[in-house]
Chain A
Amino acid sequence: MQDHENYSGHTAPHHAAPLGMYFAVFAALMVLTVITVWVSRIDLGAMNTAVAMAIAIVKATVVILWFMHVIHSPRMTWIVVISSFLWLAVMFVFFFSDYLTRGWNIY
């Protein structure tokens, strides 16, 4: 999670991951894309969107951790990444707790 060597004291920020890792991540993203399309063709009712979003969140997490190298980033980067999604969640929760609970409305 954190790489202390990256911090001050050493001149180079070097942290090269093995090349195979990038191809493995790409393969995982391809498999998840196929699953996204496949699942959308099965009728799960209201669960279809939830499943599609769950898969998209897994894909985004894979990209963030390995393609964007957050897994080897210092703790400060983790704080910024996690808090940005935290604020996004706050926005979603407050909007949805209003709009999605207006059962008395015409729609």
Chain B
Amino acid sequence: MSEDATLSHSAEHASEPHTHGHHHPFLQHHFEDMGQQHEASTLGMWFFVAQEILFFGGIFCAYFIYREMYPEAWKAGSHHQNWQIGAANTIVLIGSSLTMALAVWGAQQAKRKFTTLMLILTLVLGGIFVGVKGYEYAEHIHEGLFPGSMFTFVQQDAPHLTPGVHLFMTFYFVMTGLHALHMIIGAGLLLWFIKRTWRGDFGPEYYSPVEIMGLYWHFVDIVWIFLFPLLYLV
């Protein structure tokens, strides 16, 4: 059985005009070469990112509509955010994008240890970001700013703004929560990629998975680039 499979595989292989007597172990049989496979996988990831852009875009759209309706409440709600923490976290997240980009660079040059280190740094920086977010959440919950039945906060200087602040905080938790969820999924993926990189899967001919991991991570970074001024600096 297995001999048959090997035979038919090599026969099929010999008839292919584009194989130069060289077969990369990670080349899927339906692609002609590693370059074509790389383009197909990055393009596929971009289709995913495109739907993510529209997914977050819908929430941003709703944010702007309600902000136009309740501008004063939005300002008041944003003042409950600590912009220094937000700015520091922005630096941490953009830093993690840098280390992620450096990991892709390292994978392209088959720098196994460097790439692993950069992926670990990305994971650490991402972990710091989510940890800081958790601290901020705890503070908000403590102040009674968590939406729903836990919302006990009253805007003392302008009580009529309280329902609007409640709405702002709902947007805050939905937007940053979905963002943090993406970060946590990304952290899980990073763990897998650290293992694969250390194992020596990647090199100049095959780094598409690291590149795609990077596309995801940078996209999550871009979402935060918009969230920071919209939630902390109104």
Q: Could you tell me which A residues sit within 8 Å of B by CB distance?
A: 6-17, 19, 22-23, 25-26, 29-30, 33, 36-37, 40, 49, 52-53, 55-56, 59-60, 63-64, 66-69, 73-74, 76-77, 80-81, 83-85, 87-88, 91-92, 95-96, 99-100, 107
Contact = CB atoms under 8 A, between A and B. Distances in A.
A9 B17 CA distance: 10
A26 to B, nearest CB: 4
Given A26-B95, A67-B97, A80 B229 contact: no
Interface residues of B, number: 62
A66 B221 CA distance: 14
A87 B105 contact: no
B222 A17 contact: no
Most buried by B among A8, A12, A30: A12
Interface in B193-234: 204-205, 207-208, 211, 214-215, 218-219, 221-222, 225-226, 228-230, 233-234
Contact of B221 (A8, A49, A63): A63
B27 to A, nearest CB: 9
B61 interface: yes
Contacts of A17: 105
